[in-house]
Amino acid sequence: MIRSVIVFLALFFATASWAVIETYQFDNELQQQRYNAFIEELRCPKCQNQNLSGSDSEIAQDLRRQVHSMIMSGKSDIEITQYMLDRYGDFILYRPRFTAGTAVLWLLPAGLLFIGLIIWLRLARRRVNTAPVNTNLSDEERMRLQSILNEPSSDKQEGAK
């Protein structure tokens, strides 16, 4: 009985080991490094925000197989990237190229930062320019200002009640 439970638990927790692990053979280390770089940098077309190496979707498996076969057939990195771009568009790249269509993605953050900096500088200058022109107060004016500042306001008295 105990033996059956142990076998059942072992099989139950070993289901992750049943997952398919893709292993591709490469002629040299450089090909494997190129493959790993591609599957890390290419986005899965089906998944929202996963690269090919992290996705288990069928299209990701197909694309990994395609990248492997293109590397093994001697295609250059540019040819592989261009094939993926032609087939899936700029979405497949985690870091999209700078083109007319992606210019907004690249320039908008810097533009917003620049506009914010200009607004901040103008507000800072306005604060400096709104300082009172005549800061020389007479003794009488200084005493009156001090008494006004020291008076308890009616709001504070109402809040204490």
Separation between Cα atoms, residue 53 and residue 73, nearest integer Å: 21
> Would you state the pLDDT for residue 133?
54
> Is 61 in contact with 22 (CB distance < 8 Å)?
yes
And the tokens for 110?
Answer: 């810097």
> Would you state the pLDDT for residue 2?
85
| Residue 55 confidence (pLDDT) above 60 | yes
> Would you state the pLDDT for residue 138?
83
Provide the percentage of residues in the chain whose pLDDT is more than 70: 82
> Would you state the pLDDT for residue 132?
58
* Rounded mean pLDDT, 45-69: 88
> Would you state the pLDDT for residue 158?
54
> Would you state the pLDDT for residue 19?
46
**Cα-flanking dihedrals φ and ψ of residue 129, to 5°?**
-75, -15
Note the pLDDT tens digit of each residue in 20-49.
456 788 889 999 999 999 889 898 888 878
> Would you state the pLDDT for residue 20?
46
User: How many residues are there in the chain?
Assistant: 161
> Is 39 in contact with 51 (CB distance < 8 Å)?
yes
According to DSSP H, which parts of the chain are helical?
Answer: 2-13, 29-41, 58-72, 77-88, 103-129, 139-150, 154-160
Residues of the chain with CATH 1.10.8.640: 2-92
Fold observed for domain 2-92: Helicase, Ruva Protein; domain 3 (1.10.8)
pTM (global) more than 0.75: no
Separation between Cα atoms, residue 131 and residue 129, nearest integer Å: 6
Q: Which of 98-102, 112-116, 131-135 has the highest mean pLDDT?
A: 112-116
Provide the percentage of residues in the chain whose pLDDT is more than 90: 30
* Rounded mean pLDDT, 46-59: 85
| Residue 119 confidence (pLDDT) above 90 | yes
